[in-house]
Amino acid sequence: GAGVSQSPSNKVTEKGKDVELRCDPISGHTALYWYRQRLGQGLEFLIYFQGNSAPDKSGLPSDRFSAERTGESVSTLTIQRTQQEDSAVYLCASSLGRQGADTQYFGPGTRLTVL
Amino acid sequence: GESVGLHLPTLSVQEGDNSIINCAYSNSASDYFIWYKQESGKGPQFIIDIRSNMDKRQGQRVTVLLNKTVKHLSLQIAATQPGDSAVYFCAENRGNDMRFGAGTRLTVKP
């Protein structure tokens, strides 16, 4: 595809439910990132996948958050037992994974609203 | 991970004026930097990048300046236009990955 795609674009859920967000990176990009962006705030790093290496999960805010990526393709971010403070836009980005000069390309994001 | 849960600083400029957006980075070993622009309702988009072996790089209406001594990065936008209104993020390359600053909201007044 031409760019990073994410689905759904909007998700409204009830507190306590689980949600799954999907990211399709640019073909050939080995690196994939998830970020959270609360309204009017900056980007909060969540997790980083690079090829077949163990992911960097240092940004995940709690054990309710998890993410998977199969090879160098689709990634899913799962939030279990959602809370109202999880409401945010979740952005996915991918890059070639080159060390030292690696531009990230972002998807449009998924806007999550927890009622 | 980094905490960027602060409300964004804002910069308001008159249309036609030049804008300067600043960013302080944290890792003296960072060797590659990018500025991103994020318009309302969209994901961040690449504007311009610079490597640490340079101190200035120019694009179309934009210039990035890098001061490694004080770990400071700036983005200059010439003849700011209403379409430049957005949030601007700097990002630094940290080894295997990029990390973002908190962002600055630029508002252009007609």
3-state secondary structure A39-61: CCECCEEEEEEECCCCCECCCCC
B68/chain A closest Cα distance in angstroms: 16
CA angle A50, B75, A3 (to 5 degrees): 40
Give the best residue of A43, A94, A103 to mutate against chain B (max B CB count within 10 A).
Answer: A43
Per-residue pLDDT 10s for chain A (115 aa) are 579 999 999 999 999 999 999 999 999 999 999 999 988 788 888 999 988 888 989 889 999 999 999 888 999 999 999 999 999 999 999 988 776 567 889 999 999 999 9
- Note whether A58 contacts B: Cβ–Cβ < 8 A: yes
A44/chain B closest Cα distance in angstroms: 6
Mean per-residue pLDDT, B32-46: 90
Structure confidence at residue B85 (pLDDT): 96
CA angle B29, B35, B41 (to 5 degrees): 135
pLDDT > 70? residue B5: no
